[in-house]
């Protein structure tokens, strides 16, 4: 009934879809298993993609040839470039999406990808032989053979949903939990843990009074995620709204605290500090009189609204009462209450940098099973796992991204070396080379790499190369072309920036904080005409590279400085346990993770600077 697949993907969320698509694109025969074909690529939480650090990840996925950017573009209802007032490294694209269209677009894209087969059933176990995975077992007892398996189970592994004092098994509201896999993995020697996340109530948009809220518009000139020409920016956008909680809301919520699974100890998993439930916010930051609430539409046509900022697992009656004290929510009708969900994860320190497990060959983990949170984090892991599963079955070298290559590199390096105690979310501050890992240059950083493994197509590569060459040419020209005082001083005065005394090359003007290339186009007709030949993206790229040249150079130097540590290899058979001088924790962690370089060792949590010095001494430096 089934062929011997190259890659079997278990779970069809953000991670599973990217994994299946990437592997199939690279020529692998792929089977995508899901418990329900109608819920492929669900946005289980907020109907949005991107945001600070996450938007950069989506751009990176797209640059490599993944699908999340294109799917997001096709289903977006609003686009905003966050942090425009900050430097270019902070510019972060974010879209509000039509939840149903997002799922539909993904399913259609996968259906149109040659080499992807589907199977709808719960996978209850793995087929393992000699420490190597050889397939999966289904709930009705089918055995499906595969050379590699990617597990992307999300919150489904022994998922347990909490609403007040009620609790029931499930991977999402209305969907059953997945059983069997955790137990088998633990038996195989994996360490498992429990995590918790939550989601807010959904309400009927017709019952809200928007006049009492602030409107949040999309960008005036919206952009998009994908570098490819396959998608277009929006011409029409939806708005969102902002409102605030108040003391009354907080007091009402507090009446339910004794029935809160968060506070009565029923929830054992650890939730994220940065995405707290509303009861957690009130509890931990009692001095705050209000908290922000974002009202986000779930789609173009639906009236369903997502109440971002109001994640809660309090009893539904308390949720309801409290919510109705929020300005604009006086008559709110609830579609469904918020809930908390606990699920199994496997500390990611048990993985290799390819996301293959250390214990079982050809078995890969991606997404929440690794203790991460977020669609973007999941999708990027799925992509890397899918790529590497495919490469391994083709007996090719693994595909690894360094911390200085991409946020995706930072994410995986952090997971493997530090593990995570709480659901791991990407922040720009996690990337030490943030200035280099920008959304505007994701294609310049990664498309060639994506192309070299057969994922990004020729059109993408050519487009990127054009952008790169044009940018280099433009920068070169701007460093040579001069403007004279007579020609532009008047214009400079209008722009409230210092006039010039003698001829000056254009790049020097661009370095002024008040001036951009667009301003300079207006200063001089000839230059304006010359510049208008260039693509908007090229102009933006040239401006960033000129304006921030000094900073970018300094950062590049840091990359090179630190790469010395990265290049310092530790022998594979190095016996950490014999080095009694290492701290007990450092010794155990090093033994477990077996870092390949001193640089990697330095990032393992529990490995102290003193441990590193000791290692360097032992390694003869």
Partner 1 sequence: MFSLHEKEDTIVALATPQGVGAIAVIRLSGKDAIKICNRIFKGKDLESQESHTIHFGTIRDGDRIIDEVLVSLFIAPKSFTKENAVEISTHGSSYIVNQVIKLLIRNGARPAKPGEFTQRAFLNGQFDLAQAEAVADLIHADSETSHQAALNQMRGGFSGEIAKLRGELIHFASMIELELDFTEEDVEFASRDDLRILVEKLLRVVEQLISSFDLGNVIKNGVPTVIAGKPNAGKSTLLNALLNEEKAIVSDIAGTTRDFIEDEINIGGVIFRFIDTAGLRETTDVIESIGVSRTQEKMKTASLILYLFDLGDTDMVEINRDINKLENLGVPFLKVANKLDKANDQFVNELKANHPDTIFISAGQKEHLDDLKSQILALVNLDKFKTGNTIVTNIRHYDSLVKTRESLLDVLHGLDAEVTNDFLAMDIRRSLHYLGEITGEITTDDLLANIFSKFCIGK
When asked if residue 577 is in the footprint of partner 1 (CB under 8 A), the reply is no
418 phi/psi in degrees, rounded to 5: -105, -20
For the CB of residue 438, give the shortest distance to partner 1 in the complex, in Å. 10
When asked if residue 613 is in the footprint of partner 1 (CB under 8 A), the reply is yes
Find out whether 328 is annotated in a ligand binding site. Answer: no
Cα separation of 243 and 356, whole Å?
Answer: 44
Cα separation of 152 and 17, whole Å?
Answer: 9
Q: Of 34 and 308, which CB lies nearer to partner 1 in the complex structure?
A: 308
The correct pick among 428, 439, 447, 541 for binding partner 1 (CB under 8 A) is 428
Token output for 575: 């016996």
Q: Of 430 and 481, which CB lies nearer to partner 1 in the complex structure?
A: 430
When asked if residue 620 is in the footprint of partner 1 (CB under 8 A), the reply is yes
When asked if residue 477 is in the footprint of partner 1 (CB under 8 A), the reply is no
Closest CA to 106 of 314, 375, 407: 375
Q: Of 451 and 587, which CB lies nearer to partner 1 in the complex structure?
A: 587
When asked if residue 326 is in the footprint of partner 1 (CB under 8 A), the reply is no
Find out whether 481 is annotated in a ligand binding site. Answer: no
When asked if residue 311 is in the footprint of partner 1 (CB under 8 A), the reply is yes
Closest CA to 242 of 310, 303, 193, 289: 310
Strand partners, 366: none
Cα separation of 539 and 544, whole Å?
Answer: 9
Helix (H) or strand (E) run with residue 563 in it: helix 549-567
Q: Of 489 and 605, which CB lies nearer to partner 1 in the complex structure?
A: 605
The correct pick among 183, 219, 432, 585 for binding partner 1 (CB under 8 A) is 432
Closest CA to 155 of 175, 133, 135, 138: 175
Find out whether 12 is annotated in a ligand binding site. Answer: yes
**Tokens 């984090």, residue?**
377
Cα separation of 617 and 370, whole Å?
Answer: 34
Footprint of partner 1 on 508-527 (CB under 8 A): 513
The correct pick among 465, 579, 591, 594 for binding partner 1 (CB under 8 A) is 579
Rounded CA Rg of the chain: 26
For the CB of residue 250, give the shortest distance to partner 1 in the complex, in Å. 12
When asked if residue 441 is in the footprint of partner 1 (CB under 8 A), the reply is no
When asked if residue 247 is in the footprint of partner 1 (CB under 8 A), the reply is no
The correct pick among 59, 418, 463, 587 for binding partner 1 (CB under 8 A) is 418
Footprint of partner 1 on 57-116 (CB under 8 A): 82-83, 85-87, 89-90
Whether the CB-CB separation of 35 and 94 falls below 8 Å is answered with no
80 SS3 class: strand
Collect all residues with Cβ–Cβ distance below 8 Å to 409 and sequence separation of at least 6.
400, 401, 402, 403
Find out whether 516 is annotated in a ligand binding site. Answer: no
Q: Within 13 A of 554's CA, how many CA atoms are on the CB side? A: 6
Task: Tell me which stretch binds partner 1 (CB under 8 A): 12-20, 230-238, 421-429, 592-600.
Answer: 421-429
The correct pick among 93, 272, 315, 595 for binding partner 1 (CB under 8 A) is 272
CA angle, residues 567, 572, 578, in degrees to nearest 5: 115
Annotated binding site for NAD(+): 271-285
Binding site for partner 1 (CB under 8 A): 46, 51-53, 82-83, 85-87, 89-90, 272-276, 281, 284-285, 288, 290-292, 294, 308-309, 311, 418, 427-430, 432, 434-435, 513, 548, 551, 554-555, 558, 578-579, 581, 583, 602-603, 605, 608-610, 613-614, 617-620
């Amino acid at each position: 009934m089934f062929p011997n697949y190259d890659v079997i993907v278990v779970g069809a969320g953000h991670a599973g879809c990217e994994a299946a698509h990437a592997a199939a694109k690279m020529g692998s025969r792929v089977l995508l298993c899901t418990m329900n074909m109608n819920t492929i690529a669900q946005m289980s939480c907020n109907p949005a993609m991107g945001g600070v650090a996450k938007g950069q990840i989506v751009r990176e996925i797209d640059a490599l040839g993944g699908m999340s950017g294109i799917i997001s573009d096709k289903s977006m209802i609003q686009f905003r470039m966050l942090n425009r007032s900050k430097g270019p490294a902070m510019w972060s694209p974010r879209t509000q999406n039509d939840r149903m269209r997002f799922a539909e677009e993904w399913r259609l894209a996968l259906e149109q990808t040659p080499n992807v087969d589907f199977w709808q059933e719960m996978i209850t176990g793995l087929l393992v032989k000699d420490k190597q995975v050889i397939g999966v077992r289904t709930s009705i007892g089918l055995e499906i053979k595969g050379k590699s398996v990617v597990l992307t189970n999300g919150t489904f592994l022994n998922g347990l949903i909490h609403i007040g004092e009620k609790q029931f098994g499930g991977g999402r509201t209305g969907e059953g939990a997945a059983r069997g896999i955790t137990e088998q993995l633990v038996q195989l020697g994996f360490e498992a843990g429990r995590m918790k996340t939550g989601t807010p109530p959904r309400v009927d948009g017709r019952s809200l009074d928007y006049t009492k809220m602030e409107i949040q518009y999309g960008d005036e000139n919206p952009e998009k995620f994908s570098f490819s020409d396959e998608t277009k920016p929006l011409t029409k956008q939806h708005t969102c709204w902002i409102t605030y909680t108040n003391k009354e809301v907080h007091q009402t919520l507090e009446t339910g605290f004794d029935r809160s699974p968060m506070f009565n100890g029923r929830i054992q998993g650890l939730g994220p500090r940065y995405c707290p439930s509303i009861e957690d916010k009130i509890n931990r930051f009692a001095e705050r009189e209000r908290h922000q609430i974002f009202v986000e539409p779930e789609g173009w046509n639906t009236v369903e609204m997502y109440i971002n900022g109001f994640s809660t697992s309090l009893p539904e009656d308390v949720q309801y009462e409290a919510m109705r004290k929020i300005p604009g929510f006086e008559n709110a009708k609830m579609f469904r209450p918020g809930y908390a969900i606990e699920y199994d994860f496997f500390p990611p320190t048990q993985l290799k940098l390819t996301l293959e497990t250390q214990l079982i060959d050809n078995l890969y983990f991606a997404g929440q099973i690794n203790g991460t949170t977020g669609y973007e984090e999941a999708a990027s892991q799925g992509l890397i796992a899918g790529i590497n599963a495919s490469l391994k079955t083709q007996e090719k070298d693994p595909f690894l991204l360094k911390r200085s290559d991409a946020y995706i590199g930072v994410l995986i390096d952090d997971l493997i070396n530090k593990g995570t105690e709480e659901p791991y979310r990407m922040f720009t501050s996690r990337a030490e080379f943030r200035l280099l890992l920008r959304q505007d240059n994701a294609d310049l950083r990664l498309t060639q790499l994506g192309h070299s493994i057969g994922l990004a197509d020729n059109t993408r590569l050519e487009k990127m190369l054009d952008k790169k060459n044009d940018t280099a040419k433009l920068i070169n020209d701007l460093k040579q072309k001069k403007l004279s005082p007579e020609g532009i001083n008047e214009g400079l005065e209008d722009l409230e920036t210092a006039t010039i005394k003698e001829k000056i090359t254009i790049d020097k003007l661009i370095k002024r904080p008040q001036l951009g290339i667009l301003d300079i186009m207006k200063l001089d007709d000839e230059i304006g005409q010359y510049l208008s030949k260039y693509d908007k993206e090229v102009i933006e790229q040239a401006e960033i590279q000129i304006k921030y040249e000094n900073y970018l150079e300094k950062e590049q130097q840091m990359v090179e400085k630190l790469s010395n540590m990265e290049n310092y290899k530790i022998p594979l058979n190095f016996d950490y346990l014999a080095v009694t001088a290492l701290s007990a924790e450092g010794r155990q962690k090093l033994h477990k993770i077996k870092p390949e370089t001193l640089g990697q060792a330095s990032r393992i949590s529990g490995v102290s600077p003193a441990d590193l010095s000791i290692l360097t001494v032992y390694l003869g430096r």
